[in-house]
Amino acid sequence: MTVTGLAAANHPRPGTEGNGLTENESATLWSHDADDYTNESTYSQHYGEHRTALQQLANGTDITFTRPPKTAATWTKHDFRDLHASGPETSLHPENADLEDGTLIADAHATIFAAQPTTRAHLASGETRTYLAPDGTLRGLVDYRVRYPSTSADWSLTKHQISRVWLTQDGDTIASSTGTQTPTLDYQLQNDRTTTLTLHATIEVRIEQTTTVNGNTVSTMTETDSITVTDSLSGSVYNLAAYPYYATYPNGDAGVAILQSRPWQGYTLTETGSARVRGVWRFYTARHTGWDTLVTSTRNGETRTQSDAIPVSVHAYPSRIGPVAEPVRTGPEIVETWGINRSSPTPTLGEDVHIDVVNHSYTTTYGVAVRAEQVDRQALHVAGIVRGVNATIFQPQAGSTRHLRESSLTATVLSQNVSAATVRLELRDNQTGAPIDLSQEQRGRPLAQSPTGYIAIGDQHVETNRSGVAVVTLTQPGIYTAQYQPESWLGANPAYVRTQASVRWHPLGTLSGWFNLVFTTGWKLLPFVVMFYAGQRLLRMFGLDRFQNP
């Protein structure tokens, strides 16, 4: 690898500037870099220093997180201090800035640097959405240059200023500040729907031309100009409200389920956070590529330089890992998830992002139900995909906990022959002895759309009738396990836990089967018997059988 390749970095080399982060934290930020790994000896020869193990890993791939990291906001806050606006003769702006001109004002703009905390969620192919925390901070850059009238007379600049900077949400002012070219505005958003934040700045310029004769002022001409520039960010205000539902299993285990209508991270079940469950969403951080290059414009033209200020954002994506409960072997068990099928969002990630995103359609985890030995309802903590946003939990009414029951399943061979067996399955409530009818939805107000209960045996799914009985035909011999897969306790009352029963079928289990075995075997051996008998007759015919015995 050449030194040129090393120098063509898309972001500052870790450890080269103060950014509020450790070297390892800084190394995890850059998911839009090229991931062209530089071996340690080449790196050391070029820079005269060594990297940590995490820095080396981040040089060859991208680092992901199980929760929205704070590193993006910390970096952005510190790096924003390196953004310095220019004087009245020069306008500084990113390449994608929306520039406006007035009479005396040119290349004016107000460009949003970052709004945080936010998370850009990659939902499906061609679909992303920016989720904004209700309380956040917006940073921006406002700049312009003064353009003088094209006359031979001399003009002097008597006043230029940014008279007002303010932030609106859907047209309503929610924050403002005195005139500054690098405004920082704290805001509180007022709703939980799709919204638009707009940064406004009013720029004012006054110039003056004075005519003198023999040192005396003869006339004074003044010209003024004013322009308001804007930049907008659209997204959804990210508020969460959690409505948990609880169940008790026959052995004393606890069940809990939480459903949301938008992406969310997961929840913890105990005060210590040792037992927790996560949905399909994972996170990475990446720079805003629109700020890679800054343009400096003057009356003589434009120059481009690499930006010293780079905002970094948090991104959420559906991971191939899928929902996970922790601790893995001794922690909660995920019993059901709910959601809708969506296409892979891979095309929305952009170039040079190497993460474990799903590469096919996936199911969103809008709802997750778990079974655990213990659930501390008062310590239940539901986290969102935007950093710092946790759900307000509304506990259900007392007495609403559903108590799951045990059931009994029996499997009996009714009849069998050499080609098939008829098996009778019977499912009953262990507590009352009443039959469990799976042919219709069980009574109770469904809390989530989930499949109805069924009995699985072989490759068949069957439902019992009003008598709790189902009859199936098996055509392949063997040992079969019939397993009752109950409807989710969120949609059934009464609700049950899984149970199973085994049944064996083989053709030799009947008299006709033995007869068929003997008949089939004899029929297959008949040609060999005929050949043996014919051979013996030929030997006797030609008198060769006397040589067989000495």
- The whole-model pTM stands at 0.82
Pairing outcome for strands 105-124 and 312-318:
parallel
What pLDDT is attached to residue 201? 97
How does DSSP assign 375-396, residue by residue?
Answer: --GGG-EEE-SSTT-BPEE-PP
Handedness of CA 379, 385, 387, 388 (dihedral sign): negative
Q: Give the pLDDT of residue 72.
A: 95
For residue 476, what is the enclosing H or E element? Answer: none
Per DSSP (E only), the strands in 381-495 are: 381-383, 392-393, 402-403, 407-416, 421-429, 454-457, 460-462, 469-474, 478-485
pLDDT at 488: 84
Q: What is the spatial distance between Cα 241 and Cα 259, in angstroms, rounded to a whole number?
A: 10
Question: What phi and psi values does residue 4 have, to the nearest 5 degrees?
Answer: -60, -40
pLDDT of residue 521: 56
Question: What is the Cα–Cα distance from 236 to 263, expressed in whole angstroms?
Answer: 12
**Closest by alpha carbon to 275, among 377, 199, 366?**
377
Question: What does the pLDDT look like over 18-62, one tens digit per residue?
Answer: 678 888 888 888 887 776 667 777 777 777 777 777 777 777 678
pLDDT of 150 reads 75
Q: In what order do the strands lie in the sheet with 469-474?
A: 407-416, 421-429, 469-474
Residue 418: per-residue pLDDT:
76
H/E element holding 290? none
| φ, ψ of residue 440 in degrees (nearest 5) | -145, 165
Percent of the chain with pLDDT over 70: 84
pLDDT for res 55: 75
Question: In this structure, what token pair is assigned to residue 290?
Answer: 């629109």
Pairing of strands 367-372, 254-259: antiparallel
Burial 342-376 (b: 16+ CB within 10 A, else e): bebbbebbeeebebebbeeebbbbbbbbbbbeebe
- Within the chain, which residues score under 50 in pLDDT? 1-10, 13-16, 443-447, 511, 513-514, 517-518, 547, 550
Between the CA atoms of 41, 45, 48 and 52, what dihedral angle is there, to the nearest 10 degrees?
-20
Distance CA 111, CA 182 (A): 10
DSSP string, 517-547: HHHHHHHHHHHHHHHHHHHHHHHHHTTGGGG
- Note the pLDDT of residue 411: 93
Q: Bridge-partner residues for 448, per DSSP? A: none
Specify the pLDDT at position 41: 74
Angstrom distance (rounded) from CA 2 to CA 39: 12
pLDDT at 2: 31
